[in-house]
Amino acid sequence: MVRVRVRDRDYMGYVVQHKSAKWRDVYRKGRYVYLEDKPFELFRLRVMAEALDRTPRCLREWERHGLFPKAMFHLYNSKEAYEVRWYSAVQVVNLNNLFCLKYDGRKMLHWPMYGKRPPLLGRYRQFFEDVRVVFYKKTVLEPTWFTSQNRSFIT
C-alpha cells in the first residue's frame, strides 16, 4: 500500500484560480509480484498518473514523445491480450514527492501544443530532467532531498 498526496477537487474553492490547492492523502493498493525471489508491490499507470496529478493519457503521450521514462515493469494481463505498464512503490512515492515538494503541485508546466513535441523550455525541461533522476532511485528519498535549495538534481 502506498500513500500519495492528491489534489482535493471536492471543495468549493477548487475552480477559483487565485486560491491555493488543497491536498489530501490517498492510499492505493498495488499488486504483489516476486522478482528474483523478492516481493515487489507494483502499481498501474493510473496510480502513477494520480501521483503526478495528470491523466493516464497524458503520461502515455509523454512516454511516446520520450519525455517520461518507460515503465521498468511490464506484466501481461491474462484476461486481455495487452501489456500493462507497472511502476514500483518507490517510483510512485518519489515522483509524488517531487511533484508536490519541488514543483508545489503546479498543474501547468507550459506545454503550448498538445500532440506535438514542443521545444523543452524552463521549468518544463527541468521537470523532466528531475523526473529522470528520481525515477531510477532504488529507495524512497527523504523530503529534505526535494526541498533543499542548493541541490542540483541533474547528476
- Judge whether residue 155 has pLDDT over 50: no
Quick one: residue 115, left, alpha or beta (phi over 0 = left, psi -120 to 50 = alpha)? Answer: left
pTM equals: 0.78
CB 5 within 8 A of CB 96: yes
Distance CA 41, CA 30 (A): 6
pLDDT, tens digit, 9 for 90 and up, residues 142-152 = 888 877 654 54
pLDDT, tens digit, 9 for 90 and up, residues 32-85 = 888 888 888 999 899 999 998 888 998 999 888 888 999 888 776 666 656 678
Place of cell 533543499: 148
pLDDT, tens digit, 9 for 90 and up, residues 114-150 = 555 555 566 777 888 888 999 999 888 888 887 765 4
Closest of 83, 86, 95, 3 to residue 46, by C-alpha: 86
DSSP secondary structure string for all residues of 75-124:
EE-SSSSSEEEEEEHHHHHHHHHIIIIISTT-S-----SSSS-PPP-HHH
Which of the four pLDDT bands, split at 50, 70 and 90, describes residue 17? low
